[in-house]
């Protein structure tokens, strides 16, 4: 049974540390699928230790070694793995049952399944229409080379289709309908395919990939900018901060590198030098009132909590995908922020913080809803509140298993409830 964690920070709120982050989960999961599609022609370096990546790696190996007619592939809570494997397994010989946790069975996947079915994939629902678990079986016989998919639901659907495109007999022409959410993640997928020798065309809202062979390549995975965002949050809530994160650079494929631009509004500078980035806090009034998180929704919880803790009544847009993540992240934020007197009000696709009732109790207990980002977004509040209790210390294993150890290195105190 997982324990709750008690966080505190005694003495001067000064942070001076160096933190080595694990490889990007987003890059790793794409690299693993590309490597598997290439049948080993493409290698992967600097694999993440995130639980989602470890799970995907293990399942891909089991699929490669499978000699049975039917294989159950249980990916637990790994949402990226569910989306990517839905497409990947469509091209594999054999029959598969792709399943996950109870929460995973509540996360919609119908749009991706319909897109795959329209080009010839044999997929059916094992339980509820539009949701996992899925029955997937071959042989794949491509019926058409074009598909339409909504751009404002999940970029992972688009990435899943793009990665299998070069392996399709007719290739794929993918038309994105409406506005594309999380565009940097689609660009990341295409850039990694390009590193593996796959060329594409992108005209207006249509991405085209012809059938082609992967070329020998090594995909090097950069440290995780999503994980870096929590150190920016810590810098923002500390009195003084100098934090060095090795391995990160200013030309990242990761959309969450946008945290450097966002946090500049809070006086956190990013100096790229000595093979990494140095975060420094400088006194600066916060002036920016509107934050558009459309291209980096995984940063939303972090930035919302920072603004709330600093009493900054900001407005947020581009949060449409948050309700279908590991939990309904909008509702989770509303519930937990209320514990420090802050309201997070939804109105016409925008969300406004009302910090007029902000207060810091001596102790606060944060529910995490089986969501790693809830735990890590709220943990920095220990710089404002004497004791922060975080539900389920192991929830962070999904993307950043060493988070608590790294916090201890930076001067945070740990205990168990």
Please, is 136 exposed, middle or buried when counting C-beta atoms within 10 Å of its C-beta (0-12, 13-18, 19+)? Answer: buried
Q: Under DSSP, is residue 207 helix (H, G, I), strand (E, B) or coil?
A: strand
CA 329 to chain CA centroid, Å, is 13
**Residues with catalytic function:** 298
- Rounded Cα gap, residues 97 and 390, in angstroms: 34
Q: Two tokens at 173?
A: 């022409």
**Nearest-CA neighbor of 86 among 26, 138, 136?**
136
- Rounded Cα gap, residues 180 and 353, in angstroms: 26
State phi, psi for 161 to the nearest 5 degrees. -70, -40
**Nearest-CA neighbor of 50 among 72, 76, 15?**
76
Whether the CB-CB separation of 318 and 359 falls below 8 Å is answered with no
DSSP H or E segment with residue 72: strand 70-74
């Amino acid at each position: 049974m997982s324990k709750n964690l008690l966080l505190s920070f005694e003495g001067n709120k000064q942070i001076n540390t160096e933190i080595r982050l694990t490889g990007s989960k987003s890059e790793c999961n794409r690299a693993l699928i590309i490597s598997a599609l290439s049948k080993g022609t493409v290698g992967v370096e600097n694999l993440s230790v995130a639980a989602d990546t470890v799970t995907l790696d293990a399942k891909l190996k089991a699929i490669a070694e499978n000699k049975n007619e039917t294989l159950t592939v249980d990916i637990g809570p790994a949402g990226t793995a569910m989306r990517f494997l839905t497409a990947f397994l469509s091209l594999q010989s054999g029959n598969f049952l792709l399943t996950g946790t109870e929460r995973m069975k509540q996360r919609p996947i119908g749009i991706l399944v319909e897109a795959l079915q329209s080009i010839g994939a044999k997929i059916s629902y094992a339980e509820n229409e539009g949701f996992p678990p899925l029955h997937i079986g071959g042989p794949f016989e491509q019926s058409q080379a074009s598909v339409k998919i909504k751009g404002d639901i999940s970029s992972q659907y688009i990435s899943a289709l793009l990665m299998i495109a070069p392996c399709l007999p007719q290739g794929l022409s993918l038309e994105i309908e409406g506005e594309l959410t999380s565009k940097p993640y689609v660009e990341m997928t295409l850039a990694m395919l390009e590193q593996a020798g796959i060329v594409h065309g992108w005209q207006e809202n249509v991405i085209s990939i012809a059938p082609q062979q992967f070329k020998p390549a090594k995909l090097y995975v950069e440290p995780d900018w999503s994980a870096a965002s929590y150190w920016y949050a810590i810098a923002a809530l500390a009195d003084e901060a100098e934090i060095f994160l090795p391995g990160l650079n200013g030309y990242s494929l990761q959309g969450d590198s946008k945290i450097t631009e966002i946090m500049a509004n809070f006086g956190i500078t990013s100096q790229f030098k000595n093979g990494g980035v140095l975060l420094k806090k400088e006194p600066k009034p916060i002036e920016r009132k509107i934050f558009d998180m459309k291209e980096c929704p995984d940063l939303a919880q972090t930035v919302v909590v920072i603004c709330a803790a600093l009493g900054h009544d900001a407005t947020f847009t581009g949060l449409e995908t948050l309700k279908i993540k590991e939990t309904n992240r909008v509702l989770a934020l509303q519930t937990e922020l209320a514990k420090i007197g802050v309201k997070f009000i939804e109105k016409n696709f925008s969300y406004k913080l009302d910090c007029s009732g902000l207060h810091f109790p001596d102790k606060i207990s944060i529910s995490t809803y089986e969501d790693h980002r809830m735990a890590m977004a709220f943990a920095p509040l220990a710089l404002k509140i004497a004791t922060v209790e975080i539900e389920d210390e192991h929830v962070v294993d999904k993307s950043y298993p060493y988070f608590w150890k790294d916090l201890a290195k930076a001067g945070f105190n740990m205990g168990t409830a």
